[in-house]
Structure 1
């Protein structure tokens, strides 16, 4: 059974870390550092080997962490994710049937969209937040332009978001940010350079807090 998604934690630190194809034996160390640094929301993609087991493990070990499932592309993936206890669902596409099923299960869903029509379709179907993907091709100005007429919609850019530009997306009106390899440094993880990874996590947290404080 899914634990409730904490909007309070998400709104306080609106960075969603995306873990894709991570070796299971390194999960505990990475997530421990992640939470210690003040990050609160984490997505395990369903194309990661053992994704369901990872979600269950993290839910048990980190009750104060939002643990969701990403790259949910079909009903089978969704069923597995919900059984594993995912507290939110992220998709790379807009599938109204998947959105409806998440609503029935009282689990927040962040479907992927690209164009204004897709964004509006996802929002109208019941998305709590629409994942703008791939955001790197569009940039912060695109978000500002879309939200001018569609200011009721909550957008979370994913793809192309990094330490240098993430506050620009927030300034443009994004309510959250999804980061994968730009947050989870591949080389640091491969070399188990945990101090480097911790420092990188802290850089995001510190920059966000400074942005919010200003």
Structure 2
């Protein structure tokens, strides 16, 4: 799975966050049909792990986000998580991912945090919140840290997506600009249109 994360056909990890995960399976099906194959279910969404279990037969594996402890990591993996995403540099999550042979994408922002997460064993680094620095900040990070796969997340809009990739992003973490209100009853056809448009933009 680590290799797949580094070589996505469409370099986007779609982030599903809502009060409840009741519609996560439907939303994920639309995303994967539209070519967005990497999806994150956030633990802050009620029922996220139950929704993940409901997706066990999906064509592409799903990750779990907002993982902050080793206990979170184990619950997520037991439910079928193929990779773990943290909002912070959590040594215990990184170490637990290594023990379980599960890729970990660690959240970090400064060069020091990014380096620490990388040498601790993270597969990729989520630069969060990316909107604070934008593509220029990512480009500045790439200069001294060219070997570390960076995934800007947090405020990455459709309009800015290509600029982040041009600045050296390996992939993009995108939530509400892509998902909109689809997880809370919104139009799934509109979600499909956004996903297809984003995929076309990033070709």
- Shorter-chain TM-score bucket reads over 0.9
TM-score, normalised to structure 1's length? 0.89
Partner of 2:14: 17
Deviations 1:109-151 (A, max 9, x none): 0000010000000000011100000000011111111111111
Partner of 1:208: 202
Q: Give the unaligned 5+ runs of structure 1.
A: 210-214
Partner of 2:155: 160
Instruction: Give distance in 2, aligned partners of 1:25 and 1:49.
Output: 8
**Superposed CA RMSD:** 1.7
Q: Give the unaligned 5+ runs of structure 2.
A: none
SS of the residue corresponding to residue 82 of structure 1 reads helix
Aligned length: 203
**Residue pair 1:5, 1:66 contacting (<8 A) in 2 also:** no
Change (3 A) 1:158 1:25: same
Partner of 1:28: 25
Instruction: Give distance in 2, aligned partners of 1:68 and 1:77.
Output: 12
Partner of 1:83: 78
Higher RCO (CA < 8 A, seq sep 6+): 2
Runs of 4+ in 1 over 4 A off after TM superposition: 188-191
**Residue pair 1:91, 1:111 contacting (<8 A) in 2 also:** yes
**Residue pair 2:125, 2:150 contacting (<8 A) in 1 also:** yes
The answer to whether residue 34 in structure 2 is matched with residue 40 in structure 1 is no
